[in-house]
Structure 1
Amino acid sequence: MDYHQYDKNDFLEDASLLAYVKGDDPVVTRFWEDWAQQQPPNIDEFRKAVFLLRHLLSAERISVRPGTEQEVWGRISQAIDTAAATPVRTIGLRRWVAAAAVFLLLAGAGTGYYIYRYTGTQTVYAAYGTKKQIVLADASVVTLNANSSLRYARRWGKNSVREVWLDGEAYFEVQHLKKDALPLKAGERFLVHTGELDIEVLGTAFNVKDRRGITTVYLKTGAVKVGTNATGVLSIKPGEEAEYRQQEGVLTKHPGDADAAAWLDNKMVLHNTPVKEIVQVLEDTYGYKVVLTDTAVANRRINGVLPLKNTETLLYILSNMLDVDINVNKSDSTLLFRPGK
């Protein structure tokens, strides 16, 4: 079989390509990865087919009445009979029938069908020591901090609630879609789900941090409501911060730290900050394991600015601030803090 001669529709009819996209068979996966690495002349056709199949696999499930499968195939058979008297359309029909077969195969038997509406989700992950900026379908912008991920729909319908799921920390600049004084419509809502907390916004800039069982939401501009099923909802104003502690199930609000999103500028601004919070940043942002030989250091409080872009510079400045020696074990990413000599 010469896949080098295939176009997009040929690939869509190939069962092994479907198995590759679904990830069912490691042998098939290895074959197609090796084939694609050769950069064949029809690689773009291959990529189009893979793109289409992936969207089909992540399409939206709906409920259907019993007998729908038979009805669909009945219509296909009727179309084939009608097309028999029109030879010029036979090739196009064959492609359509094949696509219908793929559609039903992806849906599965007895569990309902999927409507192909490009409603699949995407997850973006920012690794340790990195940041990533994401532009959502509504032109809202999300900047992910290190060791964080965001899951979101590739596109939203006009009347669909805009929803995203955050794990870690991110700064949001949300597009304000409400242009009238009428009650809020579904398509004008923007929801952030993180940990156990739900955050609802209009046009707003805010920072969300979900680490170690504590979720904080600092509001820079706009309006935000936060809450859980158990705590009810709190409204916060610009300059305020909501904090939710999962273990206690308690949601509170208080004046916020205007420098909560200083990480966007690769820095951490310290306002009488305990060292243990800096240790958490080193672990959460860079993946280090920090060991303090003098545990009293953890409760020391310091002021100043720590640069976050370069870890060597960060550790050098921190060493001088605390008057400690910091040894780096690169084999297991351990930082050992010892009293300075």
Structure 2
Amino acid sequence: MDNTNILLLDRFMRGETSPEEEQQLLLWFRDVDAQEDILTFYRQHWHEASDKELSEDVQLRMFHQLKTKIRSESIAIKKTRKFEKRWFIRWGQYAAAIILCVVVGITSHLYTRQSVPVAKEYQVEAEKGQRASVMLPDGTKVWLNSHTQISYNSNYGMKDRIVALVGEAYFEVAKDKDHRFIVKTGEMEVEALGTSFNVKAYKEDRDVIATLFTGSIRATAGSHSVILSPDQQVCFNRIEDDLKVDSPENVVYASMWRDNELAFKGETLNDIAIRLNRLYNVHIEFKSEKIKQFRFSGVIKNNSLDNVFEIISLTSPIMYESLGDTIVLSERQ
């Protein structure tokens, strides 16, 4: 076996050969004994790497990269040196022989080089005052509330289907029994299979809340883990490090934001102000601390900002004034 040319071929696969060395390879490929040397070399490495798995996707990607490399190098040689047409045709034949041998030995070669592609991250974001929706590669539908971001890697679905969430989102998960669907919020993970649920996990909130509408989900936070049934809600308290399951009377409230409706359940004006800041990107100023503790319950369907405060002022002793991107709340005298 001609070790010099075998090593040269190995360098060619890594893209480290010069035009002169590639011409040397061409001459070697014309030798009828060369193909047998190449096959022997890669058979040996194939057996040495037989216990190492490599996904079909990676193998195909390497195969196509090699074809592209050979094609580009052959074109470059043709431009820089005036070969005869029959020489170029022979090059294509030798290139085909290389590809055949490399496909046989691609697993060994790739592991030797330790060339593992790095997963890319994709992000979808809805800024304050906006909402967004996206369909994930597996067909899962996600609706993002204001001031929310989700991210997932390019290897999504190859093993688990993992999505990172900051903010609030509603999920309709595509059924796939072989690949778990997991939403990570930092402190709590929500796992689902063929289900619809809402997760609220804003960084500034004390609680991370997951609400289940159909199917089932498993919520995990540290050593705590619970399984939810439809119309149940799990709440993780970041301060107390506690996980609780509840069956709220109006569970549908958790998803009303998708239909541009606002639902409040005895929330203070201070908490409502935080939500409105996300939804409308406005600053809310309180003239007194007392006003912050006023509470409001109800559903507001026509949720223009003025309409929201008009309805709240009907049940709370407050007045509001709009000054640009600031809303000033004061107590009604």
Tell me the TM-score normalised to structure 1 length. Answer: 0.63
Within 5 Å, give how 1:209-228 maps onto structure 2: 209-211=200-202, 212-228=205-221
Separation in 2 of the partners of 1:213 and 1:79?
64
Match of 2:237 in 1: 245
Separation in 1 of the partners of 2:127 and 2:293?
29
For structure 1, the residue ranges without an aligned partner over 5 or more in a row are 1-68, 98-110, 179-184
Helix, strand or coil at the partner of 1:261: helix
Match of 1:202 in 2: 193
Deviations 1:8-58 (A, max 9, x none): xxxxxxxxxxxxxxxxxxxxxxxxxxxxxxxxxxxxxxxxxxxxxxxxxxx
Deviations 1:278-306 (A, max 9, x none): 22211233333322223333333333222
Helix, strand or coil at the partner of 1:115: coil
Separation in 2 of the partners of 1:95 and 1:309?
63
In the alignment, does 2:307 pair up with 1:313? yes
Match of 2:73 in 1: 93
Separation in 1 of the partners of 2:23 and 2:189?
51
Deviations 1:142-184 (A, max 9, x none): 0000000000134635x41100000000000001112xxxxxx
Which is higher, the Rg of structure 1 or of structure 2? 2
Compared with structure 1, are the counterparts of its residues 223 and 279 closer, same or farther at alpha carbon in structure 2 (3 Å cutoff)?
A: same
Match of 1:34 in 2: none
Tell me if the contact between 2:9 and 2:25 (Cα under 8 Å) persists in the aligned partners: no
For structure 2, the residue ranges without an aligned partner over 5 or more in a row are 1-6, 30-68, 78-112
Deviations 1:180-222 (A, max 9, x none): xxxxx4xx20010013111111111000001223200000111
Separation in 2 of the partners of 1:95 and 1:315?
69
Helix, strand or coil at the partner of 1:93: helix
Tell me if the contact between 2:291 and 2:318 (Cα under 8 Å) persists in the aligned partners: no
Match of 1:145 in 2: 145
Separation in 2 of the partners of 1:327 and 1:80?
80
Tell me if the contact between 1:140 and 1:174 (Cα under 8 Å) persists in the aligned partners: yes
Deviations 1:80-101 (A, max 9, x none): 5434799xx986326799xxxx
After superposition, the CA RMSD in angstroms is 3.1
Q: Which amino acid aligns with 1:138?
A: D
Helix, strand or coil at the partner of 1:176: coil
Greater fraction of residues in helix: 2
Point out 4+ residue stretches in structure 1 off by more than 6 angstroms. Answer: none
In the alignment, does 2:170 pair up with 1:171? yes
**In percent, how many aligned pairs have the same letter?**
22
Q: Say how many residue pairs are matched.
A: 244
In the alignment, does 2:231 pair up with 1:293? no
Tell me if the contact between 1:148 and 1:169 (Cα under 8 Å) persists in the aligned partners: yes
